[in-house]
A and B are shown apart, each in its own frame.
Chain A
Amino acid sequence: SQTIHQWPATLVQPVGSPLSLECTVEGTSNPNLYWYRQAAGRGLQLLFYSVGIGQISSEVPQNLSASRPQDRQFILSSKKLLLSDSGFYLCAWSGGLAGEGEQFFGPGTRLTVL
């Protein structure tokens, strides 16, 4: 069966420090991968998606970037964190055509920027 992992589960970082959040998927090949940010009372906002290795689409301009160095690995990064980057970050995957069908979510990372 397919599983999705995210780490770390929680992270506290100072403003201006770099960020690297990792997401890996097991049990499937060539998944579509997604990064979301969940803000209280505002649902989930899609940040990035990828349909293959090295392919990244950005949904909103921001201080973050994403990379997909391997088929089942998706990384969310920042060179210098801002206070506004605090939030709950979710990784998800789906099969088939990107954007169609069910997406499966990871456990998330709670990021606090101080």
Chain B
Amino acid sequence: AQSVSQHNHHVILSEAASLELGCNYSYGGTVNLFWYVQYPGQHLQLLLKYFSGDPLVKGIKGFEAEFIKSKFSFNLRKPSVQWSDTAEYFCAVIAVSGGYNKLIFGAGTRLAVHP
């Protein structure tokens, strides 16, 4: 069965530090990849997505992610975090296999950014 692993459950950073959140998935075929973010008290919302094309994807609020097919990875990065980036981040994968394709979520990473 397909699965998604997020390596860090809790990350604490100071403002202006660089961020990289790891995400690996297990599926050898075609995938659609997503990062969702849940700010405190808000809806889960899409940060960025990759379907095809340039493997370096830019999202909202200065976030980007790189799809490395050989490593089955889709890590999220931001060069300089802000206090407002404090949130929970979820990596998600759709294994495109015909018929209904289930969106599989990782366990999430809680990011706390201190001023």
Contacts and interface: CB of A to CB of B under 8 A. Distances in A.
Contacts of B45: 105
A61 interface: no
A54 to B, nearest CB: 17
Q: Which of B44, B46, B102 has the largest number of chain A CB atoms within 10 A?
A: B44
A46 B102 contact: yes
Given A43-B105, A100-B32, A49 B100 contact: yes
Contacts of A43: 4, 6, 90, 105-108
Contacts of A46: 102-103
Nearest to B106: A43
Contacts of B103: 34, 46, 99, 103
Given A43-B106, A43-B108, A100 B96 contact: yes
Task: Classify chain B's interface size.
Answer: 20 to 34
Contacts of B92: 44
A99 B100 contact: yes
Nearest to B91: A43
B74 interface: no
Nearest to A51: B100
Given A44-B90, A105-B43, A105-B44, A99 B108 contact: no
Contacts of B32: 100-101
Interface residues of A, number: 23
A103 B107 CA distance: 17
A27 interface: no
A44 B96 contact: no
Interface string B91-115: 0101010011111011110000000
Interface in A66-109: 90, 98-108
Interface string B27-52: 00000101010000001111001000
B11 to A, nearest CB: 14
A101 B99 CA distance: 14
Given A43-B4, A103-B103, A105-B36, 9 more contacts: A41-B9, A41-B107, A44-B105, A45-B105, A59-B102, A98-B100, A99-B99, A101-B32, A108-B43
